Amino acid sequence: MGLLRVMMPPKLQLLALLAFAVAMFFLENQIQKLEESRGKLERAIARHEVREIEQRHTQDGLRERDSTAAASDGEDDVVIIYNRVPKTASTSFTNIAYDLCGKNHYHVLHINTTKNNPVMSIQDQVRFVKNVTEWREMKPAFYHGHVSFLDFTKFGVKRKPIYINVIRDPIERLVSYYYFLRFGDDYRPGLRRRKQGDKKTFDECVSAGGSDCAPEKLWLQIPFFCGHYSECWNVGSQWALEQAKYNLVNEYMLVGVTEELEDFVMMLEAALPRFFRGATELYKTGKKSHLRKTSEKKPPTKESIAKLQQSAIWKMENEFYEFALEQFQFVRAHAVREKDGELYLLAQNFFYEKIYPKN
């Protein structure tokens, strides 16, 4: 700058200083504007981040609310189907559901098929599936009826119903049904039954080779679990037996046995309290309005039992019964403990840990 002062005239030196001052002012002004712009940008970024956080919190809140509502809706969207096998204490158990439906706020619907036909037509299958899945006014619902198993996945539904059932020793079931057709029960004693007036005992029927006590009449529990396939109803079909076993373990939440009905009720109350809260106490101490007994039933002799047990049909039905009994006892062993002759449900036996990521 000193050299410029020597070489430049005073006027030029003044102009140079003014130009330098203007340039510095301009630069400072630009720097200030940049600083202001940077401040605005930082504030905009901060506001954006705040909005993102707020949106996340809002979305989390909505998701939490939706999940809570979904959980509530999920409970109210449950449908149970009890495709009851005749003479397995099915009316006794169903009456428990009727006794509890008002208090536990669900609907009970009886599936009344023409002539108690357990096989539905294809059009009725479609109607039934549609009713069960879309009839929201009736949910939560407990459907029951003498209908064989129906696979809902064949009809493209997203949520299948919960299947439950009860089975019985096959000969005891047949004997009960034989006398029921002749003498009825204490549930509706005045109702005239199809075989009323026939005084022949079960033993006399077996001895005479009668059709109502023939081994073919044992073939019922297997096809009820096998379902709506033609082979299920071919008496003595090995395929039907295997399909019934498959459905029992894969499609049914719980299958009890008549001989241990109280344990079945207890486990249902533990697993599905939305429906069965209070069922065990009702079964034990209620007015027994749910219990039903066949009239005039006489136990068969050892000879009659031995004759039926010689048939291949009894062996298959008994194999299925034993399979179901073993599965039920396995489930029970992992659900209850016995103390002083009483059964007690086990408390929750799992918990969660090592949950990541940490918040």
| Among the listed residues 219, 223, 226, 224, the one whose alpha carbon sits nearest the alpha carbon of residue 247 | 226
User: Is 298 strand, coil or helix?
Assistant: coil
**How many residues make up the chain in this entry?**
359
Would you call 48 a catalytic residue per the annotation?
Answer: no
Active-site residue (options: 146, 228, 290, 334): 146
Contact 166, 256 (CB under 8 A): yes
Q: CA–CA separation, 85 vs 177, rounded Å?
A: 11
**Distance set, CA 67 to CA 41, 71, 72, 137 (Å):** 38, 6, 8, 22
Active-site residue (options: 105, 107, 144, 334): 144
Per DSSP, the residues of 124-156 read HHHHHHHHHHH-GGG-SEEEE-S-----GGGGT
Compute the C-alpha angle 263/267/270, nearest 5°.
145
Would you call 290 a catalytic residue per the annotation?
Answer: no
| Among the listed residues 267, 266, 268, the one whose alpha carbon sits nearest the alpha carbon of residue 284 | 266
Q: CA–CA separation, 324 vs 347, rounded Å?
A: 25
C-beta atoms surrounding 39 within 10 Å = 10
Point out the residues that are catalytic. Answer: 144, 146
